[in-house]
Amino acid sequence: MSERKTFMAASVDDAITEATLQLQIPSSKLGYEVIDKGAKGFLGIGSRQAIIEAWEITEDDEETAAVKNAAKNVPEKKAEEKKPEIKAETVKEAKTSPEEKAEEKTKTTENDTAHFEEGRQFLLDVFEKMDLKVNIEYSYNEEDNALEMNLEGDEMGVLIGKRGQTLDSLQYLTSLVVNRSGEHYIRVKLDTENYRERRKETLESLAKNIAYKVKRTRRSVALEPMNPYERRIIHSALQSDNFVMTRSEGEEPYRHVVVFYKRNRNGEER
């Protein structure tokens, strides 16, 4: 088995993403064990980061996992009759990617979808107390397992806040409402005036400008603290660049991305 490494993030999903980025492997080759699921707390109080141990899955790992699963699932009686069938099933399970396993666990039910309207009503109550008239439309994205909610009104800048902090806070609180008693965890994505896409374009442009500076000066640059979603945008924007690399450093809420010049295996500049 490959060397295990520890990764921490705001959620297990974010920790898995960090692992695939830092190990530079596709998610289908990522093996991981959840050490601590973490806790969101309330308004940042009592929050705790999720922790996983992750490693790169090799062919030997898959074969070993298949053998162990087969041995564990063989019934005590009529073992000889069932061996061929069980072995075929366990080999298939060993090659299932984390995304496929997550999809099996996150298929929505009527109980889940009932909470979508609760999330909408929660936001309407908040906006009423803020004396804001806001229209809310939502839809469920099965591919991303996400409840996508769009806000429309006259004073949306107030809801976005500085660098989207107010929008992120509303998204977090709405997620608590939607997931407080649902059967599966549903991601909540809150947006208004296409802010998320515009912010994504801004961050991608920032990433390219920072990469150019790093390549010109050969010196690392630390960006401002960002949430996990925005950090992933920076990582993704530069992952194909042959001359720079990125990593996340620090603890929430001050965790940030550092862009540094990539050197060859001998430690020499390219």
Q: In what order do the strands lie in the sheet with 146-153?
A: 134-141, 146-153, 187-192
Residue 42 to residue 89: CA distance in whole angstroms: 42
Residue 71 to residue 62: CA distance in whole angstroms: 14
Q: Which fold has domain 197-261?
A: Ribosomal Protein S8; Chain: A, domain 1 (3.30.1370)
Predicted local distance difference test score (pLDDT) of residue 66: 45
CATH says 110-193 is which class?
alpha beta
Residue 211 to residue 203: CA distance in whole angstroms: 12
Predicted local distance difference test score (pLDDT) of residue 265: 53
Q: Which residues contact 254 (CB under 8 A, 6 or more apart)?
A: 225
Largest interatomic CA distance in the chain: 71
- Give the containing element (helix H, strand E) for 129: helix 110-129
* Contact indicator for 66, 40 with CB cutoff of 8 Å: no
The angle subtended at Cα 30 by Cα 22 and Cα 270, nearest 5°, is: 30
Predicted local distance difference test score (pLDDT) of residue 24: 73
Nearest to 203 by CA among 137, 147, 259, 133: 259
Give the domain ranges of the chain. 5-105, 110-193, 197-261
Residue 197 to residue 224: CA distance in whole angstroms: 19
- The 3-state DSSP class for residue 131 equals coil
Average pLDDT per run of 10 along the chain, which is 270 residues long? 77 79 75 80 63 76 47 44 38 39 50 81 93 93 91 90 88 90 83 93 95 94 91 94 93 90 63
Predicted local distance difference test score (pLDDT) of residue 208: 95
What's the burial of 10, exposed, middle or buried (CB within 10 Å: 0-12/13-18/19+)? Answer: buried
Is 0.85 surpassed by the pTM of this model? no
